[in-house]
Structure formats: structure tokens, C-alpha cells
């Protein structure tokens, strides 16, 4: 399986809500970086290890309901896959509060497991969304 196919499988697990299966594709010492600021984002910052990534997804899921998640372009080399995409999200408790953003995700690998992930997105849009959420 290519690294791009592995990333596509990770996205499939995310889309179906199967986070335990997603975690199996991560190294035990994975570094997971969300570019949003921990000062306003319950899932922002750097997370170390699978348990911390599980907590990341729990915080993300309780904060944002994704109505569209679209990886569009994949770029692969020996140790990394970079993906360009976009998403739409809304407040699970108030769908009128919503936002959209383009993003870039970078997946680093050790063997066939993800050992580093980082997202780059429009953090100002996210910040505005989270402020409106209260």
C-alpha cells in the first residue's frame, strides 16, 4: 500500500467516525499538530501519542460537525504525504453557526505508520466560529 493510499484510508476512518481504526495507522509516539491556538481552541496545539490524538478527536467532534470534508490533491515523496483540501463545519448545537476553510495537511511517516501530522488552515475563520459558539 502506498503512503497516499494509507492517508486515504485514514480519511475514510475519519469520515466514518471509526477513530480507533484511524489510531491504528499512527505510531505510538505520533506528534499531532493543529495550528489553532490552545487559548481559544479545545483541540489546538501539539498532541503527543495515540491517547492524546484520541482526546484531540473527542474535543474536535464535540466542537465541530463537519458537513463537508474534501481532500482534493495528494503529493507523496519517500517520507511524507501532503494533501490540499477544504471543509465546511458547523456548531452541533447551533447549525446557523458555521464556517468553511481550505486546508493543507502534512503526514510524516516512520515505515507504514504516521508519526507526524500537521494541519494548516484559516485559523481566523475558526477563531470567529469558536467565539460565536461561546
Taking the C-alpha atoms of residue 29 and residue 52, their distance in angstroms, rounded to an integer, is: 10
Residue 2: the pLDDT is 95
Domain hosting residue 117, numbered range:
3-133
CATH number at residue 72: 3.10.450.50
pLDDT value of residue 96: 92
Q: Could you give the number of structural domains in the chain? A: 1
Whole-number Å distance between alpha carbons of 121 and 134:
21
Question: What's the DSSP call for residue 56?
Answer: H
Residue 130: the pLDDT is 87
Instruction: Confirm whether pTM is higher than 0.85.
Output: yes
Which strand (E) or helix (H) includes residue 66? strand 65-76
> Rounded to whole angstroms, what are the CA distances from 58 to 1, 27, 62?
28, 19, 6
Arithmetic mean of pLDDT over the chain? 95
Identify the CA nearest to 61 among candidates 17, 120, 102, 108.
17
At 26-82, the pLDDT tens digits run 999 999 999 998 888 999 999 999 999 999 999 999 999 999 999 999 999 999 999
Q: Which pLDDT band holds residue 106 (cuts at 50, 70, 90)?
A: very high
pLDDT band per the 50, 70, 90 thresholds, residue 3: very high
pLDDT average, residue stretch 95-112: 95
**What whole-number distance in Å separates Cα of residue 18 and Cα of residue 72?**
21
Q: Give the CA dihedral 41, 43, 48, 54, nearest 10 degrees.
A: 170
Amino acid at each position: 500500500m502506498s503512503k497516499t493510499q494509507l492517508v486515504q484510508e485514514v480519511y475514510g476512518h475519519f469520515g466514518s467516525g471509526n477513530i480507533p481504526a484511524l489510531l491504528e495507522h499512527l505510531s505510538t509516539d505520533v506528534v499531532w499538530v493543529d495550528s489553532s491556538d490552545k487559548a481559544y481552541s479545545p483541540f489546538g496545539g501539539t498532541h503527543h501519542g495515540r491517547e492524546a490524538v484520541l482526546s484531540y478527536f473527542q474535543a474536535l467532534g464535540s466542537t465541530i460537525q463537519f458537513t463537508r470534508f474534501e481532500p482534493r490533491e495528494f503529493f507523496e515523496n519517500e517520507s511524507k504525504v501532503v494533501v490540499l483540501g477544504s471543509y465546511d463545519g458547523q456548531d452541533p448545537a447551533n447549525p446557523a453557526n458555521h464556517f468553511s476553510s481550505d486546508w493543507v495537511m502534512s503526514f510524516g511517516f516512520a515505515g507504514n505508520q504516521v508519526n507526524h501530522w500537521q494541519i494548516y488552515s484559516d485559523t481566523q475563520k475558526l477563531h470567529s466560529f469558536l467565539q460565536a459558539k461561546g
